[in-house]
Every structure is written in C-alpha cells, then in structure tokens.
Structure 1
Amino acid sequence: MSDVRPKKHLGQHFLKDLSIAERIANGLTGHGNYRSVLEVGPGTGVLTQFLLKGEHNTWVIDIDKESIAYLHEHFPELQQHIIDGDFLKYNFLDHTGEPLAIIGNFPYNISSQIFFRILEMRNQVPEVVCMIQKEVADRIAEPPGSRTYGILSVLLQAYYDIEYLFTVKPGVFNPPPKVNSGVIRLKRNQTEHLNCDEDLFKRVVKAGFQMRRKTLRNALKAINLPAELANDPILDLRAEALSVNQFVDLTNKITACRQNE
C-alpha cells in the first residue's frame, strides 16, 4: 500500500509539514518519568518517524485499516507496537501496565471524547502533547474569566497543568481544515483526588456551563441546590468566573447542606 486516503467520517486531516511534526514530537518533556509514548491516529506516520528517534518506546493506535496497513509496510520497527483499535475503548492499563504519554494530531470530531478518556486514564497518563482545533485548544488552556473557559477547561485543569505551545495554519494538512489548529501540552499535577465528591463536582461543572449565560443560582437548579445555599454570594457568579478550587468549595458546600437536611 503506497497511500492512505484521508476519510471525512474519521475527521482525518493528515499533517504534511515535517518541521511542525518535529516540533510536536519535541513538545514531550518526559514529565512523570514515563517509558512509553502512545500516538493516537498516526495516519501515514509523519509524526511517528520523529517519535521513533526518541528514547521512549513508541506505540501507535488507529481505527483506520488503511493506516494500519501502511504503518506495517513502512515502519517495520513498529511491528509489535501497532494497535488496530479504538482509543476511546481500548484498555491501556491492561495492555501496558505502566505510565505512558499520549501524543497526536487528534481528529477534530472526537477531540473532546479523547480528552474525557484521558481524564479516565489520568493516573496512567503523566503528559499529553496534541494538536487540535485552535478554538478547543484555547478553551482548554484558558484561565477562569474567559468566555472560552468551559467544562473541559475545568475538568482538565483540575488534574493537569496546561500550556498553549503554538498555532498551525490549515495549509500544512491534507485536506486543509477550515480552521487553524493549536498545539497544547498537559502535564499531570499532584492532585490524585479532588477534596470533594468528584462525581458531584462534575455534575456541578457541567450544569453550570450548560447554561453559562445564567448565574449559578439559575444554572444549578437542575441539580436541586439546597435552600440553605440560596443567599450564598458565589451563586451570583457565572460558571466561567470560578476556578477549579472554587468549584471544589461550591461542591463541598452543597454536600454539607445536603447532609444537614
């Protein structure tokens, strides 16, 4: 097989620029002392070739059969490390049993799902370097108070320190996307568990941003706020104004009130 066709239903935009691929690969810092790197959606291996020059064990996973065949043909050194599967469903803890960094040009249409999967694997994933739609990259990296700050921003920033690295123009892809791309780096922080009910925390964050133009007093009606909290000044704010720690504090207030009911 000499070529791999980009598939619209898979959200594929193959990177052509080798210098950008090298910059993405060099974005890995080794934070967390992992020994393995997993590339999500390697396509034709433009990024893979630079990962193989590093000191880490390189794994790749792709759901595209053409890509899998191409990688077997052109990267013989990867033979035992090519996974034909769906990243969103694959159990890497059972497969490798060790920490691994995640890297890749994530398909735009499932990038949020990839991040939610990374959150599920967060204690196995000390570092992530990825290229995604710039709008999403901005949202994830933004601090509280920004209009683009949202659900993913809070949930990822709870467990990772996030840096926006650089912007990539559409012309370096085949086919070119209609928007710019952004490369970000996530480094696992020291938070093993949030100091609150983590399931309730997620519900509070999601409810708050699903009605982000409303104050939290109105946005959180869906989760049945305790009456005792009705006059708390934090509820006069919108979700975008709250830091991770403020969401944790609000979650604890809700928990405490419910226990007193």
Structure 2
Amino acid sequence: MKKGRTPGKYSKPVKEGGKVRPKKHLGQHFLKDENIARKIADTLSLEGYDQVLEIGPGMGVLTKYLLEKPVDVYAMDLDSDSIAYLNGPFTSQYLPGRKEGFTVLEADFLKYDIHALFGDQPFAITGNYPYNISSQIVFKALELRDQVPEFTGMFQKEVAQRICEKEGSKTYGILSVLTQAFYEAEYLFTVPPGVFNPPPKVDSGVLRLRRRENYKLPCNEQRFFQVVKMAFQQRRKTLRNSLKSLGVPDNLKEDAIFGRRPEQLSVSAFIELVRMLETEQ
C-alpha cells in the first residue's frame, strides 16, 4: 500500500435510489446487497499486490468494502454521474477529510493505457462488470496478465461458468481455454436478480482467477491464441478441418488429436497441439 492510508471501516450502506440512475446503454445494474458486496471484496487474497482496480463502481457499494482493505483502490467508470458521486457524496461519507489511497477515474478500461496508471507494478482487478462487455474485459485482463496476479468479480452466471468450465462441455470454449491457460479459475457463488437495481433478467455469478505460479506457456503464446480461436470458430468440425488454413502437413494430420473437436481438448492438450505445429513448421 503506497499512500499510507490506514484501513478503516465503512459499513454504512449507500442509500438505495441515491443520486445515480442506472443507465441501460452502459449495461448498469447496481448491486444493493451489502452482504454480497462484502463477499465480493473478500474474494481478493491481497497476495502479491497492494493496488486494486475496480471496474464499474457505480454508487460504490463494493468500493467501500475494498477501502477496508490495506490496498490502494482505483475506481474506473465511464459514467460521469458515477464519477461525480464517488468524488462528492461518497468521498464525504466514507473518506471524510482525506482521499489517500483512493483514486476515481472517468475512463474506458478497454481503451485506457493501464501502464500510465500502474507502470509495471502488479494490481488486481475486481468489479460488478457490465454484462455487455464482460468477455472483452477478460480478454483485456489476459493481455495484462504479467501485471494481474488476481482477477475477481461478478458476471452473468453463464459467462462466469463458461470461464471456469472444463473440457467435454458444450459451453467450454475460447474464453475457457485462454483464461485457464494462465489462471486457476474458480466459480464461487451465484447471485439472484433481486439484489440489483434494476434487476437483470438472469442470475449472476462471482468468480476468482488466480494466476498460475508458472503461467508462461511452453509454446509460442501468440500462436496458442491463434490456434484456440481458430479451432472454436468452427467448433463442430474436427481439428483436421478447422485448422486446415494453417497448412498442417499431411503426416501430422494423421495424429489422433486432429480427429477430435476442440471442446474435447484440455488446456494442456491445446498446448501440446501448438508445440506439434511448431515442430513441423
């Protein structure tokens, strides 16, 4: 924790209805359950970092529990109303007279230059993510994997389950393989629609991703991303057909792995597949 803020207790609830109205075009569903907010904050292990980036803080129901932790908190939102609320009434209520260790940013995480904020320092990511861009947020976090030892938060339940799914399932796909190649993925608990304002039409799910101790792949990582995406873009086809455009040598196509479909391959099998392709090309 760099700015020397002493963690305090900020247990007063944000008043329901407050000063920020959820905006449909931003995919906002504000969490209003204090217990769930605290549970999400507690998904962070605080191991290997002292900075946390919260994406989509809204009215700060999760933020204030993050502020109880011995970390610097950066709250990033596209909604100017949320930014004004967090810099004004929220700060006055939960951080009276000081803002050390708490930074509010009006920015788009998908476009923002994170290195301008954290340099090369490690940081964790958490939040109640907008459902319409949650997969994109995960892909961006994967690009930042050298700096992100932990990633937690709330997604649409089906997306959270897909990220954590294992091979052999119909929902196992690109997001599952690429995430689990670098992180241990754990689905933690389900959240019902009624604890949000407005309630979404689906259940939500909270997950935790902890970066693997040895997260550098024993193959070309750029090639790994290419092969995984190409394989699942035609997931009903065998790898022999879906990877045809890679110019796989005929002798290699005879290997049994090319007779399988992508959802049948574990992460380690995909890594081995990429290594086979590298050897032959």
Name the residue aligned to 1:67: 82
| 2:112 is equivalent to residue 96 of structure 1 | no
CA contact (8 A) 2:238 2:262 kept: yes
- Give the alignment of 1:18-97 within 5 angstroms: 18-31=34-47, 33-76=48-91, 77=95, 78=99, 81-97=103-119
Higher mean displacement: 188-197 or 97-106 = 188-197
Equivalent AA in structure 2 for residue 68 of structure 1: I
Q: Which runs of 5+ in 1 are unaligned?
A: none
Name the residue aligned to 2:225: 202
Supply the distance in 2 between the matched residues of 1:145 and 1:99 (Cα, whole angstroms). 34
| 2:200 is equivalent to residue 185 of structure 1 | no
Cα shift at 1:226:
2.5
Cα shift at 1:94:
2.6
Supply the distance in 2 between the matched residues of 1:60 and 1:157 (Cα, whole angstroms). 26
More helix by share: 1
Name the residue aligned to 1:108: 131
Number of matched residues?
A: 257
Q: 2:147 aligns with which of 124, 139, 142?
A: 124
CA contact (8 A) 1:15 1:174 kept: yes
| 2:250 is equivalent to residue 235 of structure 1 | no
**3-state secondary structure, aligned to 2:21:** coil
Q: 1:169 aligns with which of 169, 192, 213?
A: 192
Higher mean displacement: 112-121 or 237-246 = 237-246
Equivalent AA in structure 2 for residue 189 of structure 1: R
TM-score, normalisation: structure 2 = 0.88
Q: 1:17 aligns with which of 1, 8, 33?
A: 33
- Give the alignment of 1:215-254 within 5 angstroms: 215-254=238-277
Supply the distance in 1 between the matched residues of 2:129 and 2:123 (Cα, whole angstroms). 17
TM-score, normalisation: structure 1 = 0.94
Cα shift at 1:74:
2.2
**3-state secondary structure, aligned to 2:243:** helix
Cα shift at 1:192:
4.1
Equivalent AA in structure 1 for residue 30 of structure 2: F
Name the residue aligned to 2:162: 139
**3-state secondary structure, aligned to 1:38:** strand
Cα shift at 1:56:
1.1
**3-state secondary structure, aligned to 2:254:** coil
**3-state secondary structure, aligned to 1:125:** coil
**3-state secondary structure, aligned to 2:141:** helix
Q: Percent identity?
A: 55
Supply the distance in 1 between the matched residues of 2:83 and 2:186 (Cα, whole angstroms). 31
